Amino acid sequence: MPSSNQALAHVDGVSTPAPMQSESGMIVSVIERAARDPNVDIDKMERLLGMQERVLARAAKEAFSADFAKMQQDLPTIIERGRGDKGMKYALWEDVNDAIKPVLAQHGFGISFKTGRTSERVTVTAILMHQSGHSEETTLELPVDTSGSKNAVQAVGSSTSYGKRYTAQALLNLTSRDGFERDDDGRGAGAGPRITAAQTDELRELAESVGANLPRFLRFMGVDSLPELPAAKFERAVAELRRKEAR
């Protein structure tokens, strides 16, 4: 006798257990049968639909959690190239964004932001979305950055960039460090100038076109993000990507 969760499938006249239905699939089957019954209780139908929504939401959260755990080992350390008041170092949002986007895409995630504004404060909400449909978010409220000689638009832009950086770092558990002070085989100040923005775009497009695993390629080149790549290594980076294309 098959279990209550199995049905008999008839193949060439022989009854065999059908594959186990998923929890969501079973609920859908019940809802379909109930919908065909003109005497069905509407309250019961609504409860069934609510149950299906909870099952789907739980499955989506489980998928989110599993892929998030796998993604953690691929997220890079962000080099702190920004300089604030009194020489305080911090990671630029541009560097954070460049470093995390390919890793997020690789594991089925995306990140977006919502902003709000009052006369004196800026609110930034980061939303980490997963292909399953589940999302997590965090919000940071900041004063408008009026330091230096910023005009009103620049002040809001500065606070918004700050908010994006810190909410993304909080959601993803990112770390950053000063790349100019660590012993990193010449990747610090002595490594010379870094590649230009145009070269960064060229390498990113080439990596995408040849299907390179960007986090792995960055580790191979000894950097944490493309903008950090020394200009002296640009030709080698192109050659390595072309070699992958040839294979």
Q: pLDDT tens digits, residue range 46-94?
A: 777 787 788 889 999 999 999 999 999 899 888 888 877 666 788 888 8
* Mean pLDDT confidence for 127-152: 90
The percent of residues in the chain predicted with pLDDT above 90, rounded, is 28
Instruction: Check: CB of residue 134 under 8 Å from CB of residue 61.
Output: yes
Pick the range with the lowest mean pLDDT from 4-13, 88-97, 166-175, 202-211. 4-13
CATH 3.30.160 domain position(s) in the chain: 76-178
Residue pLDDT, tens place only, 184-239: 443 443 446 888 888 888 898 888 888 888 888 888 888 888 888 888 888 888 88
CATH number of 76-178: 3.30.160
